[in-house]
């Protein structure tokens, strides 16, 4: 290096250090500004209304099957037509929930058919101007463009198939597009997170050989594998067995709320790496450690995902402090950091839980979540991925895998 160049270089070093410090300060200021960004009401409304929002789990069906009219605006629950429209919901997976009690006497299949019927008859057929049945990702987008809500179905509880691949295929033909491998009970072929420590319950160390066959048949049909409610080993078995991405239709992050129903960081990262999605659950007991701790002191019948008597639910609401909108954003943010922006979605569990967050009390409050995500620094594009883009991508991947497998011939059984 020549003398002049050396002298120039030495002279510039303090300036370069100054520029570097200024750059770091400017970057920090921008990041701080992003965290404190306060979007205008008009911007929130514009972004929210232009976004297709898909919620992958809603339990209003446990009420409509008993006669509740989803078309009447009422304030005694989380879901009705008016609230769905106010919340901007464009696609709703309705839970075909089959309680463990129906296993006794082989009544699970009958209950499954009743729950499918309540979606198709009490919701879609009764309100054809508001809902239309969707079975593919393309259907959801088409129905949304028509100004209607795309209605989809997911079975909650693998005991619904009564250990029969034939029933599984029948359910697919009736419109089922995902199945939660277990509910809070371990079934004949998959372990649940709900009874892993319960004495006297026979477990399988994850999925049995038949359980893996169920997963493969779901791949062949084009039905999403849902691992919400399953034991950790069942998750890993399902992830390793499935040729298509899998989902957690209504789960949250164990790192923020240490309950078995939530997913560990290792699980979220592996799910995202394989193209899957964790859809964040809005239940207070899965969002807040404080809520979860209080929930341990109430009756088991009031716990999340378990339908209790009205008096029990009232006790739960009295004793369990609600989580907040900020808690929901924290879980979304954590899942994004661990699994990536492509690995996160929304699975509210509305009308299936006894406590919802302040600010997200029912389906009409979804615009509050949009505002909170924008304030957190998420772009409109990020919000669209979380609200629907990621779920649609998984659906298309599952559909593509089914097309590929079906080209090889029918199932061997």
pLDDT score recorded for residue 303: 42
Q: Which residues 6+ apart lie within 8 Å of 217 measured at CB?
A: 165, 168, 169, 411
The count of other CB atoms within 10 Å of the CB of residue 6 is 10
Mean pLDDT of all residues belonging to the chain: 89
Tens of pLDDT, residues 222-263: 999 999 999 999 999 999 999 999 999 999 999 999 999 999
Q: What span, in angstroms and rounded, lies between the C-alpha atoms of 158 and 168? A: 9
Tens of pLDDT, residues 146-172: 999 999 999 999 999 999 999 999 999
Token pair 């989580």: residue: 323
pLDDT score recorded for residue 73: 80
DSSP string, 130-186: TEEE--SHHHHHHHHHTTSEEEEEEEE-GGGGTT-HHHHHHHHHTTEEEEES-SSS-
Closest alpha carbon to 131 in 61, 78, 67, 74: 61
Residue 222 phi/psi, 5° resolution? 100, 35
Using pLDDT thresholds of 50, 70 and 90, give the confidence band for residue 272.
very high
Token couple for 125: 């057929």
pLDDT score recorded for residue 157: 98
Q: Read off the DSSP letter of residue 358.
A: B
pLDDT score recorded for residue 13: 47
Q: Is the pLDDT of residue 351 over 70?
A: yes
Q: List, in order of start, the domains of the chain with CATH numbers.
A: 54-406 (3.20.20.140)
Tens of pLDDT, residues 105-118: 999 999 999 999 99
Residue 91, classed as helix, strand or coil, is strand
Instruction: Decide: 176 and 186 in contact? Cβ < 8 Å.
Output: no
Q: Read off the DSSP letter of residue 42.
A: H
pLDDT score recorded for residue 269: 98
Q: What span, in angstroms and rounded, lies between the C-alpha atoms of 102 and 140? A: 31
Q: What's the rounded mean pLDDT across residues 30-44? A: 71
Better-predicted residue by pLDDT, 1 or 167 = 167
Q: What span, in angstroms and rounded, lies between the C-alpha atoms of 168 and 114? A: 15
Tens of pLDDT, residues 372-402: 999 999 999 999 999 999 999 999 999 999 9
pLDDT score recorded for residue 15: 44
Helix (H) or strand (E) holding 304, with range, is none
Using pLDDT thresholds of 50, 70 and 90, give the confidence band for residue 412.
low
Token pair 């619904």: residue: 160
Token pair 């491998």: residue: 181
CA distances from 17 to 24, 31, 280 (A): 11, 21, 44
Tens of pLDDT, residues 354-371: 889 999 999 999 999 999
Q: What span, in angstroms and rounded, lies between the C-alpha atoms of 262 and 275? A: 19
Residue 106 phi/psi, 5° resolution? 55, 50
Closest alpha carbon to 215 in 193, 235, 241: 241
């Amino acid at each position: 290096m020549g003398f002049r160049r050396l002298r120039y270089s030495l002279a510039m070093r303090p300036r370069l250090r100054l520029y570097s410090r200024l750059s770091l300060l400017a970057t920090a200021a921008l990041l701080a500004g992003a965290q404190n960004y306060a979007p205008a009401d008009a911007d929130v409304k514009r972004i929210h209304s232009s976004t297709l929002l898909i919620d992958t789990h809603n339990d209003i069906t446990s009420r409509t099957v008993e006669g509740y009219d989803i078309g009447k605006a009422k304030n005694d629950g989380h879901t009705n037509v008016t609230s769905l429209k106010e919340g901007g919901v464009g696609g709703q997976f309705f839970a075909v929930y089959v309680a463990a009690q129906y296993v006794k006497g082989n009544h699970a299949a009958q209950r499954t058919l009743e729950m499918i019927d309540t979606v198709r008859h009490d919701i879609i057929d009764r309100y054809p101007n508001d809902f239309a049945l969707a079975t593919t990702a393309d259907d959801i987008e088409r129905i949304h463009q028509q100004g209607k809500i795309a209605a989809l179905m997911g079975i909650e509880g693998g005991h619904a198939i009564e250990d029969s691949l034939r029933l599984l295929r029948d359910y697919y033909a009736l419109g089922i597009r995902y199945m939660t491998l277990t509910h809070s009970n371990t079934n004949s072929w998959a372990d649940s997170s709900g009874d892993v420590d319960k004495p006297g319950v026979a477990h399988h160390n994850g999925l049995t050989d038949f359980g893996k066959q169920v997963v493969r048949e779901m791949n062949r049909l084009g039905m999403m594998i849902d691992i919400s409610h399953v034991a950790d080993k069942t998750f890993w078995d399902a992830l390793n067995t499935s040729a298509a991405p899998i989902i957690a239709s209504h789960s949250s992050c164990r790192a923020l709320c240490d309950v078995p129903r939530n997913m560990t960081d290792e699980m979220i990262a592996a799910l995202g790496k394989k193209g899957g999605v964790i859809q964040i659950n809005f239940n207070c007991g899965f969002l807040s450690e404080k809520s979860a701790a209080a929930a341990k002191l109430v009756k088991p019948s009031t716990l999340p995902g378990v339908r209790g008597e009205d008096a029990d639910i009232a006790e739960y609401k009295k004793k369990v402090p609600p989580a907040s909108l900020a808690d929901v954003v924290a879980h979304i943010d954590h899942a994004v950091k661990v699994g990536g922006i492509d690995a996160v979605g929304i699975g509210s569990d509305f009308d299936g839980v006894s406590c919802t967050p302040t600010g997200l009390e029912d389906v009409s409050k979804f615009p509050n979540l949009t505002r909170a995500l924008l304030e957190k620094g998420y772009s409109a594009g990020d919000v669209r991925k979380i609200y629907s883009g990621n779920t649609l991508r998984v659906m298309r991947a599952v559909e593509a895998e089914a097309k590929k497998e079906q080209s090889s011939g029918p199932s061997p059984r």
